[in-house]
Amino acid sequence: MRSIVVSSGKGGVGKTSISLNLGIALARLGKKVIVVDADVSMANIGILMGIERTPLTLHNALMGEVPVDDAIYEGPAGIKFVPSGLSIARASKISFSRFEPIIKELEEKADFVIIDSPSGLAIDAETALKSAKELIIVAIPEPTSVADALKIKQMAEKYSVKTLGFVVNRIIGEGHEIKTKELASLLEANVLAEIAEDIQVRRAGSSQQPVMSKYPNSSFARAMNKIALDLCGGASAVAQGKPKKGLLESIVDKLKQIFKR
């Protein structure tokens, strides 16, 4: 139903970890999730899960050799995932014309299709971006990352992909870092989560287990749960209580109270 591309422009900011673990967080909320590793030249999602045998991959589907159904695998917490192949020789031969129809097909099979975009803005990243309906930008609080994130957002606007917001990842908390408020102003986007540099993310990566499984109480995992809840409608969707009045309704009520005296 929803396709969300996780993109950054800059590499090494945590796109793959966020894509995979956000997928798991959504699955734990009862959603059907398919995570697609769109990084055809640097496929990592299978490695992060410790899943070695994926004989058919997105590569095969893109080459038209198999239907994408044959490249869907079961992952942790009930997620499904479409890995990319690890063969560089094959990656160089891939045509991306089939990518968008593949994503459309996957949208029919899941509540959320999470697309882990490659870095940069070459044809693979551009195709991943324009194939999705929505975008989550991942940035780290550094000017180079912000520059790349700005480019991604501009490209998303060009293709009418809705920017849901951004995740600031790997915050160290030093004075030289760009503040989250500044990032929100620069990117003109909502903050979905602020995540401190978390050694547990690297530990989970080294043990080839998702952070959500290995360290469910880590700040990273909590941030994923928060984003997942937001994507599912936030607190009001989950709470039994009646949501608070809408902003406008609330203001009108308050004005009435103020001026009636």
- For binding to another protein (CB under 8 A), which residues are involved? 121, 123, 126-127, 143, 146-147, 150-151, 154-155, 158-159, 178, 181-182, 184-186, 188, 226, 229, 234-236, 238-245, 247, 250-251, 254-255, 257-258, 261
CB of 216 to another protein, least distance (A): 15
Residue 94 CB, nearest approach to another protein (Å):
14
| CB-nearer residue toward another protein: 172 or 251 | 251
Q: How far is CA 243 from CA 56, 235, 253, in A?
A: 46, 9, 16
Instruction: Report the residue number, 69 or 249, with the smaller CB distance to another protein.
Output: 249
CB of 66 to another protein, least distance (A): 26
CB of 53 or CB of 242, closer to another protein: 242
- Specify the residue, 190 or 207, whose C-beta has the smaller distance to another protein: 190
Cβ atoms of 16 and 118 closer than 8 Å = no
Distances (CA, A) of 120 to 124, 148, 179, 224: 9, 8, 23, 24
Under a CB-based contact definition with an 8 Å cutoff, are residues 134 and 127 in contact?
no
Kindly state the smallest distance separating residue 153's Cβ from another protein, in Å: 10
Q: Is 52 exposed, middle or buried (0-12, 13-18, 19+ CB in 10 A)?
A: exposed
Q: Are strands 2-7 and 73-74 parallel, antiparallel or unpaired?
A: unpaired
